[in-house]
Chain A
């Protein structure tokens, strides 16, 4: 059996003229929480849809649990959980009916996990799903998804639109269960504090490609945040391939680099007249946003 829960090779998906996934190479090992990060349109949701067999790739291969995503059997689907941002559930049923339906469907149903996770949320069994708040619905959805004891659970922006309390409850429930059933969790979110809290592995996508895959610590180590006194045209520095951003803040020059040799860059700065360049600590959110904003499309300047 393969060691990877998800494997893609040269995975490409085009919608007419638009390329959503471009030669995407990805190998996600079993276990842990893997966070998918990327700007809107980076190809995350398309990848998930291909993983679930809802879309067919234009070229390349895509496997989940060692099987071709286009040939998922009902048994395999039972081992893959999926939670979307809308927390789609049958609104016309009450919580106990929905739970009963899922219990009948999934042979590995873990009532103990369900009871434990749903305990984080104020969901009454006889409450209609339509009457639940967004946070309660998210909780019910997560409880059901985890109780299915899936080998892999894909969470596509599950905390979107949740308030702070609901988000907190959601993350606690998620983290507790991860240690209990050892599912591999694919977590997609734009909330950096969540990523920072739960993710063991970061997968950063951009323009349909996987740009980085590393632990949060490793990733942060590759990003350097320089602060120095420099009076020069920053546009020439910003165009250097390993410089993610360069700007003046309160008279000081702030430069963020990636995979740049520290000594080499320090001498480069000093050579350009920078006084006393120092490396400041950078948090994950800033590191990721620097990477993602590097190639973000911006309007062409007109003189």
Chain B
């Protein structure tokens, strides 16, 4: 087995080394523009792309070369079991991928760790491991796609989406998920690696795994299908609901939320004031025509995790820049404090934690450490989930500005509008005097505390306008009243401290028909929503709630949508039963398939059809007979008749 491993390794080692060198050169050049350790979405995207494509292409190409007729015979006809041959090839493949794709990355990290003062921690090393495991998964998918009779097997690459972007957690969790995927894809490829490649069929549990692997891709295809049969045709004939957005005005009745969102802020305010019975409504309406409107921060506030893979960090959380002193204050996940680094001399210039600056890390107290990954705002504030600190890099001072009550957490970054600093939590909006907020080195009291009009964790947007007696704050959400029911509220904050919700409106009319709007749920109610809720969102689409917000059982869906979903699940199960009716597989296994496709619904059925082959499936539906069997039986007598003897 070792000899075969060595042989396979020798076959591609030059190529691997060449790719490794190119990779190193690319890193060296790119570091001139952006330091290696700075996370950036493009960097993450580029590395992911190279890793996935590299893995898949290598899997496809190396296996295709082995699969050639005589080469396959040479490979498998030896005194080694198929399992050992597979292990030898795959081990060599993984080692080569490591050299070509992961080693340069790892070498750069080790170099920086050993020869610089950069903050290099476990999360950097885990990133290298993550890339290697992803490349391995992609490689196994490539092997699977070539050896499997189902060429659609390559679509299983859609699974990698989760590995690359969707999992946002501690780095160790990423590695755990990666490892699980690696084992899954390893087994998937092993299941099709057989001496006799023509023996592969669907009548084995391995096909079940294939189906699970294909299912997300099928779901993606189905989800994008409305563009073809709904959006594009309506756009072409000018009847698409989005075209009517321009018609929305302050007096529109039964408006659509989509139109409302697209309208100008003053129109939005005037529209909401229609529903107000406040004494000053007319005055506010007049003022709003001339008022200035400002949105609160839309910046990302999603929680980050200790030892999160460094390229999955947001750049905004990476470092506090001190341009004057050419220094960067980088947050160390290990220490829980910021480390100051002179970018020119590579010298450490100090540290700071929650209570101030210090020179050495010998005795960092728990009180000094940030116990979560903080967010850097405007290069002068540090915001954690419940507290916000001001950082004065010149005078080397840190001051805690404000801390939320225990049950609250920030949902937006601090915003500075109309001489006010505004903080927003899951329960309330806090107004501070901007001058105090910027300069006072003490804990502050909020000038106004506005309870959220609807107890909602995430508002899509909150805007503020200044009027004569105070402020108008407008809250908007897709899930204002309940799930999938958008709405907005207008809160009047007066200078005298009086706070009133003067108007609310929910939009019952939807822009899209239910079968389009709720399609992800209808198509695959269980899988789609479990993945969405558990592994966070891999696919962004506006009508879905924010990640992890709702599982399917938590959503208040219209009854007919649930009926549609149930019908589709039932139809998928019945068609599966029909497809497999004459299959020689054991009855129990047929029922497993039926059960699985009831759960997976239409994407599951499509995956099964691609497993069986489209022509074969159509034939089974039409004639209840296997295509290959039908052909061979039909042709047999003709051959017997044609047979000639000497």
Contact = CB atoms under 8 A, between A and B. Distances in A.
Contacts of B3: 100-101, 104-105
B646 A258 contact: yes
B196 A77 contact: no
A207 B643 contact: yes
B77 A93 contact: no
A295 B4 CA distance: 46
A41 B638 CA distance: 18
Contacts of B10: 90, 92-93, 97
Given A16-B632, A58-B632, A294 B195 contact: no
A105 B646 contact: no
A106 B646 contact: no
Nearest to A107: B79
Nearest to A290: B646
Contacts of B635: 14, 16-17, 19
Given A77-B77, A86-B70, A105-B3, 15 more contacts: A14-B636, A16-B628, A17-B635, A19-B636, A19-B639, A56-B198, A74-B80, A74-B84, A77-B78, A85-B70, A93-B7, A101-B3, A101-B7, A211-B646, A295-B646
A84 B68 CA distance: 13
Interface string A21-44: 010000000000000000000000
B74 interface: yes
Interface string B627-646: 01001101110010001111
17 contacts: A14-B635, A14-B636, A16-B635, A19-B639, A52-B73, A54-B76, A55-B198, A74-B84, A75-B79, A77-B80, A82-B77, A88-B71, A88-B73, A105-B80, A107-B79, A211-B646, A244-B646
A84 B73 contact: yes
Contacts of A86: 70
B111 to A, nearest CB: 31
Q: Is the interface of B mostly helix, strand, loop or mixed?
A: helix
Interface string B1-39: 011101100110000000000000000000000000000
A206 B198 CA distance: 24
B79 A55 contact: no
A22 B635 CA distance: 13
A70 B614 CA distance: 29
Interface string B177-208: 00000000000000000011111000000000
Contacts of B195: 53-54, 72
A241 B645 CA distance: 8
B81 interface: yes
Contact of B632 (A14, A85, A93): A14
Nearest to A17: B635
Given A17-B635, A244-B646, A106 B70 contact: no
B117 to A, nearest CB: 44
Q: Which 7 A-B pairs have the closest CB atoms?
A: A78-B79, A101-B3, A88-B74, A17-B635, A84-B70, A74-B79, A88-B70
A90 B11 CA distance: 8
A89 B74 contact: yes
Among B78, B197, B646, find the residue whose CB has the most chain A CB atoms closer than 10 A.
Answer: B646
B196 A106 contact: no
Contacts of A123: none
A264 B3 CA distance: 65
A258 B645 CA distance: 12
A295 B644 contact: yes
B109 to A, nearest CB: 32
B72 interface: yes
Contacts of A49: 73
Contacts, number: 96
Contacts of B646: 206, 211, 241, 244, 258, 291, 294-295
Contacts of A206: 646
A294 B644 CA distance: 10
Contacts of A70: 196
Interface string A88-114: 111011000100110011110000000
Given A101-B3, A104-B3, A54 B73 contact: yes
A2 B396 CA distance: 93
Nearest to A101: B3
Contacts of B73: 49, 52, 54, 82, 84, 88
Contact of B196 (A14, A55, A84): A55
B81 A74 contact: yes
A280 B74 CA distance: 46
A80 interface: yes
A56 B198 CA distance: 7
Nearest to B6: A101
Among A74, A75, A100, find the residue whose CB has the most chain B CB atoms closer than 10 A.
Answer: A74
A80 to B, nearest CB: 7
A244 B7 CA distance: 52
Contacts of A207: 643-644
A197 to B, nearest CB: 25
A117 to B, nearest CB: 19
Nearest to B197: A54
A56 B7 contact: no
A105 B79 contact: yes
B159 to A, nearest CB: 31
Nearest to B639: A19
A58 B198 CA distance: 12
B10 to A, nearest CB: 6
Contacts of B74: 84, 88-89
A224 to B, nearest CB: 14
A152 B267 CA distance: 89
B79 A53 contact: no
A106 B79 contact: yes
A104 to B, nearest CB: 5
Interface string B56-90: 00000000000000111110111111001000000
Nearest to A106: B79
Contacts of B77: 52, 54, 77, 80, 82
Among B3, B4, B72, find the residue whose CB has the most chain A CB atoms closer than 10 A.
Answer: B3
Given A74-B79, A101-B7, A258-B646, A56 B632 contact: no
Nearest to B634: A17
A80 B77 CA distance: 9
Contacts of B197: 54
Nearest to B199: A56
A100 B7 CA distance: 11
A10 B71 CA distance: 29
A72 B81 CA distance: 10
Given A77-B79, A104-B3, A294-B646, A17 B632 contact: yes
Interface in B303-361: none
B637 to A, nearest CB: 11
B521 to A, nearest CB: 43
Contacts of B78: 74, 77-78, 105
B70 A90 contact: no
Contacts of A90: 7, 10-11
A54 B79 contact: no
B114 to A, nearest CB: 35
A101 B81 contact: no
Contacts of A258: 646
B581 to A, nearest CB: 23
A80 B81 CA distance: 14
B4 A101 contact: yes
Interface in B424-454: none
A159 B513 CA distance: 71
A120 B77 CA distance: 26
B644 A17 contact: no
Nearest to B13: A92
Contacts of B11: 90, 92
A35 to B, nearest CB: 18
A264 B636 CA distance: 38
Contacts of A16: 628, 631-632, 635
A59 to B, nearest CB: 10
A45 to B, nearest CB: 9
A241 B646 CA distance: 6
B631 A54 contact: no
Contacts of A14: 632, 635-636
